[in-house]
């Protein structure tokens, strides 16, 4: 069945300066002159190819016309603006998903699970060993005994502490927190693995209400990618979620707020993380903001203002969704969105937690390839059956015109207003684009509850990476506690055609399928584990995928009434001139 839900955020804003987009004044949107520069993403061909640019992995300076390597940067350096600079400066200027400073927080889950194990994965994609330090709020964390590698031996998993730096190409699991009573693996609580030491003993998100609390901060001396998962090893919690964590160098002051799933059955939440003291947060909510713990209420349509210190999280949690509200801050912030335990679709068991970091609006883009997780539906003869998957599209500008390839899914919108969101369900694989970069959109996908089709898995929420934010290398992790694990891979043709994508456990990925009829995009699914066993040479743990061309990669894991998913990385360079002003 095709389902469609359309919501529009109506508000009045004042635009202070800049080039005003048509019909944007009433909604607080502003277009500014913006220069889009290459980074770890896959940029469109420039109008003029003169000069130099950076390779997607930032390790080399390329000729702007031929893309031949002009200079290979030293291991401690990376490329920025066509020259070699210190590695962390290179990552910061690239506005990518690799960086040297990351803030994260667990989702707000039901109280039965809030004492579980919270972990971050630090993937060293650089060419030198990486040291990791941390804080919780403003307090230093000793991570020296809390970073591990997972090692599979005869089907069992053991954890080896990483002493000192994380080696190049490796992935370190940083066990950040769990409750002081160390929960056992029962009910909805999942403890960290036996023998590991957590950096912080306590419950990070404890109020389960609108409130202010501390975030975790990880710093490295060379660029890395970071993901977080709660609970770690959380299949038996039945409430797991995971997210790609964006470095603070890619943060912004301009956001359309998004949560997980609009529902009357569960509370949704938005988490706003500050890196600078006295950060002013200004939100014009589309619904009333309910009062919380030391957080004042705010009426719909007003300008609500809060002030945060470095390392603090402002969580707005309530039944009435704030998705579509516009936010401007005095200093760059991070935004996470989620829902405590929604049923997707409504009334279909079971519920699960949702959590994703949301990119700022200037990193939204105009084209996305909508390829979900591999279908969980299997026919009697063992063949795969197409699965209907929910999608959500959100626009940042009035008059956003959408086109689809190969055809428009039933229920999918053709025109969106600023802050308008539409959810629809389809079994089609498609791409969607808006008319230009000045009309950026955001796309996310959802997994449905296990009882919808009597399958493994449960509700989940994953951001889709824009085509022009694909990378050429990913280091990711497959959680050991899920029965079935798959990778979704999407590749785009460049000037040299399609490039092989090499996965460490199988070599070149095969069985590519065309997305649509324009010949520009292909996708594939890779089964990594099945029925708790590895498939071929693939198994649980760390995986690396590389290519000479841009591609997207998503990790999915499903078990009985449990699932997680996340994009394994994304370029986050500015791809849209849209900015938001809230006054």
3-state secondary structure string, 350-398? CCCCEEEEECCHHHCECEEEECCCCCCEECCCCCEECCCEEEEEEECCC
Classify residue 27: in a domain, yes or no. Answer: no
Please state, in angstroms and rounded to a whole number, the distance separating the CA atoms of residues 554 and 559. Answer: 17
Give the structural domain span for 69. 52-94
Q: Which of 434, 431, 439, 465 is nearest to 573 (CA)?
A: 465
- Domain-embedded: residue 249: no
Find out whether 128 and 88 touch, Cβ atoms under 8 Å.
no
The answer to whether 557 and 563 have CB atoms below 8 angstroms apart is: yes
**Radius of gyration of the chain measured on its C-alpha atoms:** 22
DSSP secondary structure letters along 452-485: HHT-S---EEEEPPBGGG-EEEEEEEE-TT-SEE
Cα–Cα distances in angstroms (integers) from residue 398 to residues 151, 417, 420, in the given order: 51, 4, 9
pLDDT tens, the chain, 583 aa long: 333 444 444 343 333 333 323 333 344 545 443 333 334 444 444 445 779 999 877 899 999 999 899 999 999 999 999 999 999 999 998 877 899 999 999 999 999 999 999 999 999 989 999 999 999 999 999 999 999 999 987 778 899 999 999 999 899 999 999 998 766 654 689 999 999 999 999 999 999 999 999 999 999 999 999 999 999 999 999 999 999 999 999 999 999 999 999 999 999 999 999 999 999 999 999 999 999 999 999 999 999 999 999 999 999 999 999 999 999 999 999 999 999 999 999 999 999 999 999 999 999 999 999 999 999 999 999 899 999 999 999 999 999 999 999 999 999 999 999 999 999 999 999 999 999 999 999 999 999 999 999 999 999 999 999 999 998 889 899 999 999 999 999 999 999 999 999 999 999 999 999 999 999 999 999 999 999 999 999 999 999 999 999 999 999 999 999 999 999 999 888 899 999 999 9
How far apart CA 418 and CA 580 sit, in angstroms, is: 11
Q: Which long-range contacts (CB under 8 A, 24 or more apart) does 158-164 make?
A: 159/193, 159/195, 159/196, 161/196, 164/129, 164/131
Residue 384 CB neighbour total at 10 angstroms: 12
Q: DSSP label at 115?
A: T
Whether 136 is in a domain gets the answer no
Domain count within the chain: 1
Q: How many residues does the chain have?
A: 583
Which tens digit of pLDDT belongs to each residue from 315-326? 999 999 999 999
pLDDT value at residue 57: 79
Q: Does 64 map to a domain?
A: yes
| 3-class secondary-structure state, position 451 | helix
Residue 165, classed as helix, strand or coil, is coil
Q: Say if 68 falls within a structural domain.
A: yes
Assign 433 to helix, strand or coil. strand
Q: Which pLDDT score is estimated for 173?
A: 97
pLDDT at 566: 98
How many angstroms separate the CA atoms of 351 and 109, rounded?
A: 11
Q: What pTM was estimated for this model as a whole? A: 0.92
d(CA 233, CA 170): 19
Q: Does 532 reside within a domain? A: no
Closest of 63, 88, 62, 64 to residue 75, by C-alpha: 88
Residue 176 lies in a domain: no
Residue 428: CB partners within 8 Å, gap ≥ 6? 407, 409
Residue 87 lies in a domain: yes
Q: Which residues contact 40 (CB under 8 A, 6 or more apart)?
A: 56, 57, 58, 94, 96, 97, 98, 471, 571, 573
């Amino acid at each position: 069945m095709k389902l469609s839900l359309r919501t529009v955020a109506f508000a009045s804003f004042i635009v202070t300066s800049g080039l005003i987009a048509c019909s944007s004044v009433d909604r607080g949107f502003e277009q500014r002159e913006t220069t889009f520069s290459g980074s770890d993403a896959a940029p469109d061909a420039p109008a003029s190819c003169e000069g130099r640019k950076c390779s997607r992995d930032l390790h080399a300076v390329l000729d702007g016309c031929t893309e031949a390597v002009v200079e290979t940067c030293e291991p401690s350096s990376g490329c920025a603006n066509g020259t070699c600079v210190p590695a962390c400066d290179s990552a910061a200027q690239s506005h990518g998903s690799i960086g040297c400073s990351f803030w994260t927080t667990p989702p707000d889950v039901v109280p039965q699970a809030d004492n579980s194990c919270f972990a971050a994965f630090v993937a060293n994609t650089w060419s030198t060993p990486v040291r990791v330090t941390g804080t919780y709020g403003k307090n230093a964390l000793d991570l020296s005994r809390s970073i591990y590698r997972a090692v599979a031996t005869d089907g069992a998993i053991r954890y080896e502490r990483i002493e000192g730096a994380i080696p190049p190409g490796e992935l370190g699991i940083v066990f950040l927190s769990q409750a002081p009573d160390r929960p056992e693996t029962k009910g909805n609580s999942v403890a960290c693995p036996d023998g590991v030491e957590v950096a912080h003993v306590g419950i990070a998100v404890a109020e389960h209400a609108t409130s202010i609390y501390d975030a975790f901060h990880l710093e490295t001396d060379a660029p890395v990618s970071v993901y977080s998962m709660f609970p770690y090893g959380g299949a038996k919690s039945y409430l797991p979620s995971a997210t790609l964590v964006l470095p603070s160098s890619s943060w912004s002051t301009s956001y359309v707020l998004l949560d997980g799933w609009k529902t009357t059955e569960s509370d949704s939440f938005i988490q706003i993380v500050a890196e600078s003291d006295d950060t002013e947060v200004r939100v014009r909510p589309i619904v009333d903001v309910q009062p919380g713990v030391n957080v004042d209420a705010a009426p719909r349509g007003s300008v609500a203002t809060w002030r945060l210190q470095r390392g603090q999280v402002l969580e707005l949690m309530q039944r009435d969704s704030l998705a579509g509200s516009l936010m401007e801050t005095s200093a760059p912030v991070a935004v996470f969105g989620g829902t405590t335990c929604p049923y997707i679709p409504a009334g279909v068991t079971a519920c699960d937690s949702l959590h994703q970091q949301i990119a700022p609006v200037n990193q939204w883009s105009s084209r996305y390839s909508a390829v979900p997780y591999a279908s969980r539906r299997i026919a009697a003869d063992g063949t795969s059956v197409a699965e209907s998957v929910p999608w959500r599209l959100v626009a940042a500008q009035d008059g956003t015109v959408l086109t689809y390839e190969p055809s428009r899914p039933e229920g999918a919108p053709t025109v969106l207003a600023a802050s308008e969101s539409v959810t629809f369900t389809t079994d089609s694989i498609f791409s969607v684009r808006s008319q230009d970069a000045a009309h950026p959109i955001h796309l996310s996908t959802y997994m449905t509850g296990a009882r919808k089709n009597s399958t493994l898995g449960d509700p989940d929420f994953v951001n889709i990476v824009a085509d022009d934010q694909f990378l050429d290398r990913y280091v990711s992790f497959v959680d050991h506690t899920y029965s079935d694990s798959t990778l979704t891979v999407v590749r785009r043709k460049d000037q040299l055609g399609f490039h092989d994508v090499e996965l460490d456990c199988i070599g070149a990925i095969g069985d590519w399928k065309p997305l649509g009829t324009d010949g520009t995009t292909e996708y594939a699914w890779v089964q990594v584990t099945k029925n708790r066993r590895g498939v071929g040479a693939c198994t649980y743990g760390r995986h690396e995928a590389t290519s000479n061309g841009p591609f997207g990669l998503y990790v999915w894991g499903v078990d009985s009434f449990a699932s997680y998913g996340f994009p394994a990385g994304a370029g986050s360079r500015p791809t849209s001139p849209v900015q938001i002003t809230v006054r």
